[in-house]
Amino acid sequence: MNSIIKAEELSCFYGIVLGLNNVSFEVPAGITGLVGPNGAGKSTLIKLVTGQLAPSSGSLTVFGERPRNNKALLSQIGYCPEREQLPKDLRPLDWLRALASVSGTSWKETKSLAEKALRRARLPEIHWKKRIGTYSKGMKQRVKLAQAIMHDPKLVILDEPMNGLDPMGRAEFGDILKELNEAGKSILVSSHILHELEFLCSGFVMLNWGRVLASGNQIDLRKTVVEWSDEISIRCSDASSLAAHLQSKGLLRGFLADGMDLTIWVNEPEAFLANWPDHFSGCDAEVYELRNKNQALSSIFERMTR
């Protein structure tokens, strides 16, 4: 894979708190979604990619280089943070020009750079004379994006940019990102709702508890989730006879019976879990408890796709 971001056995700890735990993955060029519930490690990963944090162990490269204290590399990355820290009394051009000037651009040049960025972020010119404090959420998001792309980076990183936007706002913002991608930029965009990014991203990295649960396209993600759910633990009066009963119905890929404990691997997890009382009927063994080992992961996935 021709990857732009590559993590190898990457960990990042905040003291004893785990941010990312031994993750390895690659992100190809294009638009990639970084998805996972709150606290999964998305912002930690973004801070590592943008050089704000250093790995505790393992390695992370962007365009083949380590980002920490790498000014040349960081000039190729644009970052749109989750937090909204826009100066509400300034107009967008004033703010963007000031930022460009601080970064070393001559004052004269800052005007055309800032205007170009606002146009690419599709903030209508009619609003340029208004103060940012009067802007809607969607307009502020465009100013933040303009800030991230003003220096024409090759990679644009956006932390939860769809948060608080209505469906129309999300679709419009997605179109802007697609346009940037068509113009040759790669994009890494995070969200805790997979559904928000499904229309936009060609690939995904799915995080939870500081680990990569799955990566690839949408089909790969769903396949992984189904694989998670195929192991079921049962406590019953007679594990061997229940296993034989389920086996005779052709429901199992495998099983492990030990006294009252039975672990089964089922062929079709969703169908099995939907109809489990039917599958057990006709067997003398009494079932006390049934647990899908990876139900927690599946339910996280379901929550994110809703």
Ligand X SMILES: Nc1ncnc2c1ncn2[C@@H]1O[C@H](COP(=O)(O)OP(=O)(O)OP(=O)(O)O)[C@@H](O)[C@H]1O
Query: Between the CA atoms of 152, 156, 162 and 166, what dihedral angle is there, to the nearest 10 degrees?
Result: 30
Select from 12-20, 148-156, 166-174, 196-204 the region that touches ligand X (CB under 6 A). Answer: 12-20
Which of 1, 16, 38, 83 is in the footprint of ligand X by CB under 6 A? 38
Rule CB under 6 A: say whether 164 interacts with ligand X. no
Q: In the complex with ligand X, which residue's Cβ is closer, 210 or 269? A: 210
Q: In the complex with ligand X, which residue's Cβ is closer, 122 or 211? A: 211
Q: In the complex with ligand X, which residue's Cβ is closer, 203 or 269? A: 203
- Alpha carbon 50 to its chain's center: 16
**DSSP three-state, residue 280:** helix
Which of 36, 51, 153, 269 is in the footprint of ligand X by CB under 6 A? 36
- Alpha carbon 233 to its chain's center: 30
Which of 39, 58, 164, 169 is in the footprint of ligand X by CB under 6 A? 39
Q: Report yes or no: 2 and 57 within 8 Å, Cβ to Cβ.
A: no
Q: Distance (Å, rounded) from C-alpha 261 to C-alpha 276?
A: 17
Rule CB under 6 A: say whether 19 interacts with ligand X. yes
Rule CB under 6 A: say whether 53 interacts with ligand X. no
Which of 5, 10, 23, 40 is in the footprint of ligand X by CB under 6 A? 40
Which of 23, 25, 41, 80 is in the footprint of ligand X by CB under 6 A? 41
Residue 190 CB, shortest distance to ligand X, in Å, is 7
Q: Distance (Å, rounded) from C-alpha 148 to C-alpha 146?
A: 5
Residue 87 CB, shortest distance to ligand X, in Å, is 23
Q: What is the DSSP letter of 286?
A: P
Query: Between the CA atoms of 274, 280, 281 and 287, what dihedral angle is there, to the nearest 10 degrees?
Result: -110
Q: Distance (Å, rounded) from C-alpha 290 to C-alpha 40?
A: 28
| Binding stretches for ligand X (CB under 6 A) | 14, 17, 19, 36, 38-44, 192
